[in-house]
Structures are given as C-alpha cells and as structure tokens.
Structure 1
Amino acid sequence: MSLAYALEKEVAISAVLRACQLTSSIFNKLVKNERLTKDDKSPVTVGDFSAQAVVSTILSNAFPDDKIVGEEDSADLRVEANSVLRDRVVELANQALISDLAHGDNVQWGIGPGKQRTMEELLYAIDKGNHDGGKSGRMWTLDPIDGTKGFLRGEQYAVCLAFLVDSKVQVGVMGCPNLPVDASMPDGPKGCLFVAVRGQGAEQRTLSNSKPTRLTIPAYKDSEINFLESVESGHSALDFNARVARILKITREPIRMDSQAKYCALARGDGGVYIRMPVGTGYREKIWDHASGSLLVEEAGGLVTDSRGNPLDFGLGRTLGENFGVIAAGKEVHSKVILAIRKAREDEEAEKSGSSKI
C-alpha cells in the first residue's frame, strides 16, 4: 500500500536538492570568491531567481496543473538593462537542471542531461510562482533563498518548499546547506535536508540524501528551555522576547539564526521554543516563510500557532493575514509560552500607561 503524497514528497526532495546545489555553488563562486562588496546583493538575486526557476520547472513537469506561490517574479529580469543578470540566471538554472545528481531523479520531471531550457521557458517558470494562493485546490509555496543575510554571511539559510491541499500543508521539504548535521559538532559535516509528510512524521537527511533519521522534539525541563530567534532585530521584536524569557525564568542564552532553519533546529531538539514576534504594525507574514517549517515541527510532535494561540491560516492568499507572530514549541511548553506572552503584553501596556500619566 503506497503512502499518501509519496510522489509529491519524492519530487519535492529532488527539487530542493538541486536548488541547494545551485545556491551553494553561487555562494562559493559569486560571493566567497568575489568577496562581496556590492550593496545590490546581486549574487542573492541570481540565486533567488535561478533557484525558483529550477524548482518551478520540476514542479510544473511533474504536476502541470498545480499552482505555485513563489517569492519571485521575472519582471526585473525582462528589463533589457538587466540582461547580464538574466543571462546568468539562465546559465545557472540550466546547470542545475541538467546536473546528474543520481538521487533517483526522473527525466519526466524535466531534469537531467539534455534538459536545458530556453530563456523564455525559465522566465515563464519563475512567473508560475505568481499565484495568489487561496483556500481550495493543490498548491505549492516556495522560498528559494530564505534568509538572505545569512546566505551572504555564509551562515544559515534555507530552500523551503511546501505542498498544500485546500490550504492545509501536507508535505514540507527544507534544505539547509550550512546547518551542521549534528548540533553538538558545529565544526563537523554540514548540509541537512528536512522532510515531513502529514501523518507520517518528520525526518532529517544529509544533502547526499542519506538514510533518514526520525525527528522528535524532546520533553524539556523548564531549566533547559531556550529561545530560537532571528538574527536581525528588524525581523522580530527581540526586546519583547527577552521580556517573555524573564517571565518564563529562562536563563539560557537564545540561539539566533536566519531563516526557517530555526524550525529545523527546534524539530531536532537544538532549542526549546521558536519565537517570532512582529515588529511594527501592519506587517503580514508570508506563507512561504512558515509553511514547510510549521509542518516539520508538528510532525516532530510540536505545536505551531500565532502569538495569540490561533492556528496559522495558509488559505488567505500570499500572507498569513491577521495571524500575529509565530510561536513553535513542544506541546508541553507551548501553552506556557502563550501565557507568558500575554503577561508580557499586559506588563508592557501597564508601563506605557504609567509613563503617560507622569
């Protein structure tokens, strides 16, 4: 008896592995070797566009009727002033598509030797990601390089791909080329692939697609809990996080890293709570920043909600709508964090009110 979404899982793994190979190559050739000094972050732009072209090409060949919600579109590449960038995207995407990775790829998915695409075909593939999302039907969501600044620093970033049916995430695959295979050996081998299918559990592999290791979030004692946070203060309210930590009497220093690698670290037990509180008003989280990671944590035995305890809603379009922040943790810890956030908000409001009376 075949497992549900076995083909979707297989295709997603193949697409993410090729995108990871591509982005790692871009870092080594266009960032590391050039000692990036430009402000336009063009290597990241090349990586974003070419990785999206590769993943979209594979998905479109395997599942031609499926919709894709991707972060990028080809409008800038179609401007003649960006012809050099466009040519580089085409070159890199084709290199990834024709590479013989020997991971069980199927040539019917549009990959392997002799499967080069024209410029127009690749631009069209990028634009397949322009779907508006919604509550019904089959849909993929993709972030080709999640964690731009981490990528540029040679630290954490992720290629994130999720498959949804009627706005519910069913398959999530994330590639983290710079994440240590074993967190206890930070200088050891790097490069991890994380895979989750609803109802079938979560697993970690290496980027050579080796035998998977089952993931389960450990049961933490209160003294063992620490936060997983964003590196950039502009991405999450780190001062508020510190307030929540004090309420929870957390003394361990937070682990800070870019991208959905935080979900991966949580799922395998590297940290107790992923907390992402919004900065400023009006910000809406993008669905591609959380779809695959949320399923990974859930299948590892955790719980993912917004900071009010509401489920994340992936059926509202390209964003999570009114979902306010994101909290992910083991089930026995999650409720404590939600209560602490509520108390931190009350304390913050009380302090503001007291200051206004002075």
Structure 2
Amino acid sequence: MNEYSPEVVTALQALIKASALCQKIRMDLVGEEWILKSDRSPVTIADYGSQAIVCKLIRDRFPHDAIVAEEDSRELRKPDRSKILGQVTDYVSTFIPKSSSEEICSWIDFSSTSISNRFWTLDPIDGTKGFLRGDQYAIALALIENGVVTLGLLACPNLYIDMHQPSGERGCLFIALKGQGSFQMDIKGESKRAISVSKIEDPSQAILTESVEPDHADHLYHQQIAKELDISTPSLRMDSQAKYGILARGEVTLYLRVPSPSEPGYKENIWDHAAGSIIAEEAGGKVTDIYGHPLDFSGGIKMEKNHGVLVTNGILHEVILKALNM
C-alpha cells in the first residue's frame, strides 16, 4: 500500500468531506443539535453526518470490508428525533446530493461490531464535548489488517497548522502508512510534509498532554508522575486524538492516559486509539499501555488486554514506564 492506493485515496476523500461537514455544522450550531446517549455521552448531528459520509465512501469502494464505528442510527430513527434526523439529512445532502433520511441511516448502520482479518475503525467525532465547546476534536479512521494498524488518518479541523503559531491558520490532517512515516497536511489534503517526534532526552524537559475531561483520565496521578520526573511545564489538556497528532509533530513529548479513579477498570475503545497510534509510531514515537504492553486491536471493540495508554517520543518511554510502575 502506498499514497496512491485505493485505500489511501478513498480514506482521504472521506475525511476531507467529513471535516467540511463538521466545520459547517460547528459554524451553524445554535441550539440543542445533540442527543444524550445511554452512557451519558453526547452525540451530535455532526457525529451522525460524519459517520454516514465516511461509511458510505468506504463501503462503496470496499464493499466487503467491515467498518467498526462508534455510532448507530437507533436514537436517530425514533419519532421524537425527526427534527434532528432532518438536520442530519440536510447537511449530508450538501456533500452527497439527493441523500434520503433512510439512506443516511443505512450508511450509519454499515457499522459492525464484528472484528475480521481486515476492517476499518472509525470515530466520526472523537472529542464530541470539545466539538460542542468549540475546542479540539478529530475524525479518526484506521485500517486494521490481521490485528495490525496499517493505515491511520486524523482530521483535526480546529487544530492550528503550525505549532509555533497557535493563533494562526487552523485545520490539520495527519496520515500514516505502516513503515512509510507520518505526514501532516492542511484540512483540504494539501501542503503535505513529513513530521517527527521531539528529540528530548531529559525527562524534566518533557511536555505532557492529557485529556480535558476528568472522567477520561486520572489527572492527579498524572501530576504525581510529572513531579517525580521533575517536569515543571504545565500539562497541555486537549480533547480527542489530536493529542497523538501534536506528539507526532514534536510539540509535546508524552501523552498519558491512566484510567480515572471513578472507573479504574475502564477498557479503551479501539476507535479512540487505532488511528492515532500509527501516526505517533510512524513519526518515531512509541505507544504501549501503562505496563509496557503493545496496544491490542485484535480482540474486539474494547482493548481488553490493555490498561491505560502511554505514548512518548520513544527516547523517554522506559524512564516513564519505570515511574509508572514503581
């Protein structure tokens, strides 16, 4: 597989369209265009629209590939959700003309829970709360073959392109192919450049990134680890797998995700890490759980064999693992 392979071309087209849809919805967002799911997490019309577009384009080109995605259309099909379904239909039709509500629901439901030798995993909006706040979010798509991530893409419509100019132009797309490096483009898929992790060797000079939401990680424990490593720079809290992107381009040195005390046995979803992990690794980083085990994407929707996540520039990985397991 290379940059001209059908998988790469199709995935890029899908994420560029989905990003444009999400940006348009975010600019128009004025009311209660979201639903609270049974797990108390929000899902927006952008989640549904993004998943519909990506699933349709992937399925059209690769009809035999399974797609493991976060959402389904059950809530959307309820009679009292007709207004939201209508909004989803209107937005998707802007990018795929003449789409009907029934077609869009069927595209959303291309998502499967079965893991096969070759499948795609999709988070249509990773960081929905960040999206609603106007902060960071990502559209995350990965291809997994025989348990190995071979292609990963992150579209980050609200992320600044140049890490030295955080108030400058926004909208990044990260892509990595197994064994071929990591790259950053603008949100239209142009201005491609290779990226690499930081070369920092002194743990005290490291910069930590972590989740914004306290339910997603143990912030207090993260602070304790930072103190043990003599890290004085405050952590950079950011929603979504955009954290993988900023680590891959050398802006931060480590990303730590120890489960929150409110849910100590939490197991991560594969769509929350598959795309980001290959982007970090191909940029020279290292990705494991907090015990040093490689992330396992072969066992189903949940990463049952892993506990937490540690991503570093590679150089500092063993030092940080030691601090985590003292």
Asked if Structure 1 and Structure 2 have the same fold, meaning a TM-score greater than 0.5 normalized by the shorter chain, the answer is yes
Partner of residue 83, structure 1: 82
Taking a change above 3 Å as real, the CA distance of residues 41 and 154 of structure 1, as seen in their structure-2 partners, is farther
**Could you tell me how far apart the structure 2 residues matched to 1:76 and 1:40 are?**
8
Give, in whole Å, the separation in 1 of the partners of 2:301 and 2:293: 18
Q: SS at 1:163's partner residue?
A: strand
Contact 1:51 1:144 in 2 (8 A): yes
| Displacement after TM superposition at 1:290 (Å) | 0.2
Query: How do 1:146-157 and structure 2 match up within 5 A?
Result: 146-157=126-137
**Counterpart for residue 195 of structure 1:** 175
Q: Match for residue 322 of structure 2?
A: 339
1:224 CA drift (Å)? 2.1
Query: Once superposed, which parts of structure 1, at least 4 consecutive aligned residues long, lie more than 4 Å away?
Result: 36-44
Alignment partner of 1:56 is 2:39: no
Whether contact under 8 Å (1:44, 1:152) holds in the other structure is no
- TM (norm. structure 1) is 0.85
What is the alpha-carbon distance in structure 1 between the residues aligned to residue 33 and residue 62 of structure 2? 38
Check conservation: 2:161, 2:169, Cα contact below 8 A.
yes
Equivalent residue, structure 1, for 2:125: 145
For residue 331 of structure 1, give the secondary structure of its aligned residue in structure 2.
coil
Residues 1:168 and 2:148 are matched in the alignment: yes
Specify whether residues 65 and 39 from structure 1 end up closer, same or farther in structure 2 by C-alpha distance, changes over 3 A only: closer
Q: Does 1:127 align with 2:126?
A: no
Aligned residues: 319
1:159 match? 139
- Alignment match, 1:229: 210
The code of the aligned residue for 2:126 comes to D
Per-residue CA distance 1:126-170 (angstroms, 9 max, x = gap): 11113332xx42100000111111111111000110011112111
Could you tell me which residue of structure 1 aligns to residue 19 of structure 2? 20
How far has the Cα of 1:65 moved from its partner? 0.4
| Residue identity opposite 1:234 in structure 2 | D
Q: Which residue of 2 aligns with 1:244?
A: 225
* Pairwise CA RMSD: 1.8
Q: CA deviation at 1:218?
A: 2.1
Between structure 1 and structure 2, the one with the greater Rg is 1
Q: Is the 8 A contact 1:297 1:304 kept in 2?
A: yes
Inter-partner Cα distance in structure 2 for 1:123 and 1:37: 20
TM-score by length of 2: 0.94
Cα deviation digits, residues 239-298 of structure 1 (max 9, x gap): 000111111111111111000000000000110000001112331100000000000001
How big is each residue's C-alpha offset from its partner over 1:60-113, in whole Å with a ceiling of 9 and x where there is no partner?
101000000000001111211211111211221121224xxxxxxxxxxxxxxx
Closer, same or farther: CA 38–82 of 1 in aligned 2, 3 Å = closer
Mapped partners of 1:12, 1:149: distance in 2: 25
Amino acid in structure 2 at the alignment position of 1:207:
I
**Structure 2, gaps ≥5 residues long:** none
Deviation, 1:211, is 2.5
For 2:171 and 2:13, locate their aligned partners in 1 and report how far apart those are by CA, in whole Å: 15
- The whole-number CA distance in structure 2 between the counterparts of 1:23 and 1:38 is 13
> CA-to-partner distance for each residue in 1:184-207, whole Å, 9 max, x for gaps?
111100000000000111000001
Letter in 2 for 1:228: T
Residues 159-308 of structure 1 mapped to structure 2, 5 A cutoff: 159-222=139-202, 223-279=204-260, 280-308=263-291
Q: Once the 2 structures are TM-superposed, how far is the Cα of residue 121 of structure 1 from its aligned partner?
A: 1.9
> What is the distance in 1 between the residues matched to 2:211 and 2:2?
35
C-alpha displacement of 1:4? 7.8
